[in-house]
């Protein structure tokens, strides 16, 4: 009888170890747009920091549209972000996510640009199943900023999963 109880106890421990919830911890915040639409967003997480700028990545859902948001805080000369966001995946495929809006805020050396890129329906599946290697965006002076996301490859996938709950 003791062997059976011990075996049952061990089996329960092993089963519980494999069934632990590995879901992403979601910190979804809500607000309303000026026209009254509900916006859910996952706050910015820093993905790159250099002597010139700090770049952060976030995601939001406004109405039925998903957006990828990038915030660039400038420590030196301010450069405006323009054009599409290029996302390169670990399987060597990429997508161009269209820029919908880019605003500058602040003054002086801590000016920032916050840019929103609309996630078209055809982009939802790849963004939620693939790992991201790199994102690339262009500045107004035609320089490109490429940020390696291999160590944070699921950041965007996790943010979108939180918004889809």
19, with CB counted inside 10 A (0-12, 13-18, 19+), is exposed
66, with CB counted inside 10 A (0-12, 13-18, 19+), is buried
Q: pLDDT for 122-135, tens place per residue?
A: 999 999 999 999 99
- The distance from CA 154 to its chain's CA centroid, rounded to whole angstroms, is 8
Kindly give the pairing relationship between strand 112-119 and strand 94-97: unpaired
* Residue 24 confidence class, pLDDT cut points 50, 70, 90: low
d(CA 85, CA 96): 6
Q: pLDDT for 60-92, tens place per residue?
A: 999 899 999 999 998 877 788 999 999 999 999
pTM over 0.85: no
Give the domains, in start order, of the chain with CATH numbers. Answer: 21-164 (2.60.40)
């Amino acid at each position: 009888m003791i062997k059976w109880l011990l075996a049952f106890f061990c089996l329960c421990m092993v089963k519980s170890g494999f069934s632990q919830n590995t879901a992403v911890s979601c910190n979804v915040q809500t607000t309303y747009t000026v026209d009254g639409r509900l916006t859910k967003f996952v706050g910015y997480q820093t993905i790159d920091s250099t002597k010139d700028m700090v770049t952060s990545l976030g995601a939001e859902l406004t109405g039925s549209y998903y957006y990828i948001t990038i915030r660039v805080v400038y420590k030196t000369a301010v450069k405006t972000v323009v054009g599409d966001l290029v996302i390169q995946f670990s399987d060597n495929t990429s997508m161009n996510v269209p820029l919908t809006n880019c605003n500058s805020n602040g003054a002086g050396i801590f000016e920032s640009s916050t840019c929103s890129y609309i996630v078209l329906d055809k982009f939802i599946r790849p963004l939620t199943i693939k790992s991201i290697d790199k994102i690339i965006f262009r500045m107004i002076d035609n320089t490109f900023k490429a940020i390696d996301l291999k160590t944070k490859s699921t950041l965007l996938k996790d943010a979108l999963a939180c918004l889809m709950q």
